Structure 1
Amino acid sequence: MADTPTLSVTMLGAGQEVGRSCCVLHYRGKTIVCDAGVHPAHSGMASLPFIDDLDWSTVDAILITHFHLDHAAALTYITEKTNFGDGKGKVYMTHPTKAVHKFMMQDYVRMSSSTSDALFSPLDMTKSLAAIIPVSVHQLITVCPGVSFTPYHAGHVLGACMFLIDIYGLKILYTGDYSREEDRHLVKAELPPVRPDVLIVESTFGTQTLEGREEKEQRFTNLVHSIVKRNGHCLLPTFALGRAQELLLILDEYWKKHPDLHNIPIYYASSLARKCMSVYQTYIHTMNANIRSRFAKRDNPFVFKHISNVPPQRGWEKKIAEGPPCVVLASPGFMDNGPSRELFELWASDSRNGLIVTGYSIEGTLAREITNEPEEFTSMKGNTIQRKISVEGISFSAHVDFSQNSEFIELVGAQHVVLVHGEQTAMGRLRAAMNSRYKERNEDVKIHTPRNLETLQLSFRGERVAKAIGALADKPPQTGDVLSGLLVAKDYSYTLLDPRDLRDFAGLTTCTVTQRQKIALGVGWALVRWHLEGMYGTVEEGLDKDGIPTMRVMGIVDVKQTAEHELTLEWESSSSNDMIADSTLALITGIDKSPASVKLTTNSHSHSYEHSDPGHVHPHANPEGEASSVMRIQRLAMFLEAHFGEVELHMPEPDEDAELPEDERRQPALLVELDHAEAEINLVTLVVNSSSDTLKKRVEAVLDMALTTVSSLSESFVSGIPVVSDDVALGLSQQDKLGASVPEIDSASAVAMEVAA
């Protein structure tokens, strides 16, 4: 369809990059924003998404997938520093995400307030938190009429979810960051039960294939063990929350199995993590079966036996660096500042020490730079430091690799796939690989890799599917069956059901609307009937339950004579019934203005009938006194002309054919012409002759109807025409030719009728 609406997808961040995720969806006048993060490699305004390219007052909802800064830290700026508050927009995230987001933002504000690049104040952050609406996984949330969404587990971190968004029937699945592998404490990402039209999915690792979880954990613990056994310090830069908890569970279990390591301390250098540990313990029920089982046995997995927090006093970094071997998990994971950066600068020049980068490192950060193992680097104070510390990378980032991502994309089965949250090269490789797969299977799936501020306009097939429910769904239809029921539409979602199920499934009831229309009338009841029969064929006549004379048209419209000069039309309203009622109303209101159109020619071969002039009494006004055969012929001619147009009466001259035998003499006849074909009706025998079988049959049918309406042609026609007896005029024409007898016509039904215009 030419006017089919399109979905607009605009990336304000995370378009061919990792960081400042922010995706804008616009469809049918509704706007949804998914995620609002900052870019870890930048600071201040440069870290924000391109927020100036959107009128935030038009946004209906902001959906935050998880608490990581690159997905949620710009939310406060948007709610408090843009015109978002001028509209009716709402902010949604899951309960665990909101709980951790609070602590994350407090720490973010504390860290940024010491610089000149602070984006907002602690008060702004507090006000923003108050506006967040927490939701539960699998809960259907209606944002506004026509817009709803359902969160599903995404793995990745505590509380992370993907959103299945429904905008007027168009379904979009936005994954955010997700993991399809169950780890030590989280469930894997779910496959939503509904097939979306659009999938917006991360592409962080492109076409890379990562190690299996068991092999990765073994390599990690062996590497940590070897570093501390060579009297070195092991640095694990991590984010305060998310992957850090997974590493803590792995290390605590490994230390428990190796008594020789019990004298080597493991420190968790994050005050933020201490605050959030209560959140993890509160939301145990959202984690996997292993964690829930341990917790049910009163074995809290987040009460670590071999891990402690660093001393709270200032300068603890130097004391630990100068002390015996140890393992330290320090934030942030990108190592641009904070404890992880300070410890790295202290330990970098000693070859006994080791650095293990455990997460995905974004381009432009020290973590990405150091994985290339440079011989030296620049400290935060500007000094050059020689790098002798060993560097290893083992990814615990909980993002999908190529095999997991490609499998999920194919299982979702969306018509359009939009790749986000990936660097240009990785994203391009994933797109090429997926296109190749679909091409081999001859599947028409569009893969998109939009840049920041590039707007995709996505169109979809116009057909929509109606789901049969209730009684209609009890017996599956066979090929060729036709389902009939009520089509219920809600927000462009369609359901077909039996009218009896309407109350149970839709909370609605059916009713019948009876319409009535009164008409002032200046003609007789019989004249109305004649016109109705001429238009609709048989008309049922009788009395209604109140004894009022009624004619029923096509079994639908009742025409009632409710007063001497008044008719009332009554019918049950529906689209088809209303059309029949409208045509009946138009016919009746035009009866008294309908002109007669029959002419009688006056030349030697034909005569034309003229209407009575206005000064004469209407020829149909007094049927009781009409004995003239001319009037009967005129009625028949008028009836025929109502169906076929002009009718000619051919009369033989008195002396014409006088010498011929009586059975060969020419008879008076009516001539009908239609579409260059002619039919002649013998007025003595009422036999129809025509070279066109089609026209002959039509004239015979109309002639039969005319004979049941007008009075019999039993008297002589005009002077000089032989008298035709009833047996000849009626018996031959009706019994032999038409096969039916004409009922007696009383004076009321023998009223001469005008021709319907």
Structure 2
Amino acid sequence: MPTVTGLGGFHEVGRQAIFIDSGTESLLIDYGISIQNMAVPLPIPKMPGAVVLSHAHLDHSGHLPSLYLKGYPGAVYATDTTFALSDLLLRDSHKVQMLNGLRPHYDLIDVDTFGKAGRRVAFGDPFGLKGATVTLSDSGHVPGGGSVLAEIGGKRILYSGDIKFGRTELLDGAFTDFEGIDLLITEATYSYKNHPDRSMMRERLRSHVQEVIGNGGIVLIPSFAVGRAQEMICMLYDLGIPMYIDGMGAKATRIILDHKHSIRRPEKLEQAFAAAIKIKKHAERRQVTKKPCIIVTSAGMLQGGPAKLYMREIYNKPECSVVLNGFQMAGTPGKILLDTGRYVDDDIDVQAKLKVEFMDFSFHCGRDNLLKFIRKVNPGMVVPVHSEHVQEFSAELKGMGFASAPIRNGETIAV
């Protein structure tokens, strides 16, 4: 009988890590860091027989290279797009930790090993391990990102990964046709709320941008480099307004365009990226803020990247606007700005004069779609993860007739 141990991301968002052990085979799924404070998962119970990465975001991938520093002899299994994007994010994370005076948990040579030893797998193609069979399926979250089905110890364990249903600018939405699932480990990031209609949000964004630009302002759109930056430029490039892309978003876009099979309309992203003006030098940033324009840049929670520099230029200009457009973690400058109107970062703590907008373009599923997915899969048990609301959601699921276990980091359940 296999067991599942939570090593990170249970009752929290960040440092996702799941350890599955059947006695004859062990599997580690994801091994991330906390974006807010660089916290890492709990130690692995033993060296896994194999490692599977659901997608590239650092809260799922950020600690993986440390396995090679610890002597892990095997491969990480993921899609080719995930490997390419992870390489970008892991190298940047190492640089950021060094710049902040932190000691990285891995060396760059470990990132090299992660890529060279990696096994590229395609969605829907099962791959066999010593005592398990694993299949990745499109999770609709970011290019290359997948749900993980592990058939191990006579059980079928499905990890949703970060999952999004329905079409976005980049993706067609998650695969959901799973059968005979004994245990569903599902993200529950937004188990407590639904998201607004995406097409309505798109029109609201475009209207807001045109209004601000018409009044002589600048629209700053801090965006996650992988997934969100690409969606933002796809939504705005045809407005005929000067649009700049800065930070890792440009590099990530080039990688995604090198893996066109991972998105639904590569020609649209190609057009949008060609229309966007790429910022290549630090000196160019001050020039950009001297005239009305759109700036799409990292980081999505204003906690780093060029977004910090642009915010310092425009936070006291009422004609300008910042559009926050995704999850804002507690304690980040984006969350503080959204909740209080104050811009707090390093030596700055002021009441911002610029317009602050939140537009929900989440790449996570909302409550109703999450419940619909759970009902469709109809698993023997549900373990919610990737949320601070798992206790309440698990209780709700029990009230609906599902077996559910809101386990915490360090706890183990038998399947």
User: What is the TM-score normalised by the length of structure 2?
Assistant: 0.94
Aligned to 2:113: 127
Aligned to 1:32: 27
Q: State the one-letter code of the partner of 1:69.
A: L
CA distance in structure 1 between the aligned counterparts of 2:257 and 2:345, rounded to whole angstroms: 38
Q: State the one-letter code of the partner of 1:447.
A: S
Out of 323, 336, 348, the residue aligned to residue 303 of structure 2 is 336
Q: Counterparts in 2 of 1:102-501, with a 5 A limit? A: 102-119=87-104, 120-144=106-130, 146-253=131-238, 255=239, 262=240, 264-270=241-247, 272-288=248-264, 291=265, 295=267, 301-304=270-273, 306-310=275-279, 312-321=280-289, 323-374=290-341, 376-380=342-346, 382-423=347-388, 426-438=389-401, 445-458=402-415
**2:317/2:353 contact within 8 Å kept:** yes
Cα shift readout 1:321-377 (whole Å, capped 9, x = no counterpart):
3x1111111101121122112211221112211111111112232222221033x34
SS of the aligned residue for 1:337 comes to coil
SS of the aligned residue for 1:313 comes to coil
Q: Which moved more, 1:364-373 or 1:199-208?
A: 364-373
Structure 1 residue 300 displacement after superposition: 6.5
Structure 1 residue 11 displacement after superposition: 1.5
CA shift in 2, pair 1:398/1:244, >3 Å:
same
* Paired residue total: 414
**2:225/2:252 contact within 8 Å kept:** no
SS of the aligned residue for 2:414 comes to strand
Out of 3, 18, 21, the residue aligned to residue 8 of structure 1 is 3
Structure 1 residue 83 displacement after superposition: 4.0
Cα shift readout 1:405-435 (whole Å, capped 9, x = no counterpart):
0000110010100000011xx3233323323
SS of the aligned residue for 2:34 comes to coil
CA distance in structure 1 between the aligned counterparts of 2:107 and 2:374, rounded to whole angstroms: 41
The percent identity for this pair of structures is: 24
Aligned to 1:545: none
CA shift in 2, pair 1:304/1:314, >3 Å:
closer
CA distance in structure 2 between the aligned counterparts of 1:300 and 1:356, rounded to whole angstroms: 21
SS of the aligned residue for 1:241 comes to coil
CA distance in structure 2 between the aligned counterparts of 1:377 and 1:280, rounded to whole angstroms: 33
CA distance in structure 2 between the aligned counterparts of 1:56 and 1:115, rounded to whole angstroms: 31
Question: Does residue 1:49 correspond to 2:14, yes or no?
Answer: no
**1:206/1:429 contact within 8 Å kept:** no
Cα shift readout 1:498-530 (whole Å, capped 9, x = no counterpart):
xxxxxxxxxxxxxxxxxxxxxxxxxxxxxxxxx
Cα shift readout 1:540-576 (whole Å, capped 9, x = no counterpart):
xxxxxxxxxxxxxxxxxxxxxxxxxxxxxxxxxxxxx
**2:195/2:362 contact within 8 Å kept:** no
Q: State the one-letter code of the partner of 1:287.
A: I
Q: State the one-letter code of the partner of 2:306.
A: P
Q: Which entry has the higher C-alpha Rg, 1 or 2?
A: 1
Structure 1 residue 49 displacement after superposition: 1.1
Q: State the one-letter code of the partner of 2:138.
A: H
Structure 1 residue 303 displacement after superposition: 5.0
Out of 75, 90, 100, the residue aligned to residue 75 of structure 2 is 90
CA distance in structure 2 between the aligned counterparts of 1:201 and 1:233, rounded to whole angstroms: 39
Unpaired stretches in structure 2, ≥5 consecutive residues: none
CA distance in structure 2 between the aligned counterparts of 1:19 and 1:30, rounded to whole angstroms: 26
Higher relative CO (CA 8 A, sep ≥ 6), structure 1 or 2?
Answer: 2
SS of the aligned residue for 2:93 comes to helix
CA shift in 2, pair 1:377/1:283, >3 Å:
closer
**1:379/1:385 contact within 8 Å kept:** no
SS of the aligned residue for 2:31 comes to coil
Q: Counterparts in 2 of 1:643-682, with a 5 A limit? A: none
CA distance in structure 1 between the aligned counterparts of 2:198 and 2:273, rounded to whole angstroms: 21
CA distance in structure 1 between the aligned counterparts of 2:391 and 2:215, rounded to whole angstroms: 43
Cα shift readout 1:707-750 (whole Å, capped 9, x = no counterpart):
xxxxxxxxxxxxxxxxxxxxxxxxxxxxxxxxxxxxxxxxxxxx
Cα shift readout 1:422-458 (whole Å, capped 9, x = no counterpart):
11xx3233323323332xxxxxx21122222122234
CA distance in structure 2 between the aligned counterparts of 1:74 and 1:34, rounded to whole angstroms: 12
Aligned to 1:722: none
Cα shift readout 1:257-292 (whole Å, capped 9, x = no counterpart):
xxxxx3x4111012x33333343223323333xx16
Out of 14, 17, 25, the residue aligned to residue 19 of structure 1 is 14
Unpaired stretches in structure 1, ≥5 consecutive residues: 256-261, 439-444, 459-757
CA distance in structure 2 between the aligned counterparts of 1:302 and 1:37, rounded to whole angstroms: 33
**2:337/2:344 contact within 8 Å kept:** no
Q: State the one-letter code of the partner of 1:452.
A: N
CA distance in structure 1 between the aligned counterparts of 2:273 and 2:197, rounded to whole angstroms: 25
CA distance in structure 1 between the aligned counterparts of 2:400 and 2:59, rounded to whole angstroms: 31
Cα shift readout 1:70-98 (whole Å, capped 9, x = no counterpart):
11011011222x2433xxx4311111111
CA shift in 2, pair 1:318/1:385, >3 Å:
farther
CA distance in structure 2 between the aligned counterparts of 1:158 and 1:306, rounded to whole angstroms: 21
Q: State the one-letter code of the partner of 1:428.
A: Q
**1:199/1:418 contact within 8 Å kept:** yes
Q: State the one-letter code of the partner of 1:205.
A: Y
SS of the aligned residue for 1:447 comes to coil
Cα shift readout 1:100-119 (whole Å, capped 9, x = no counterpart):
21222222223223232131
CA distance in structure 2 between the aligned counterparts of 1:300 and 1:134, rounded to whole angstroms: 24
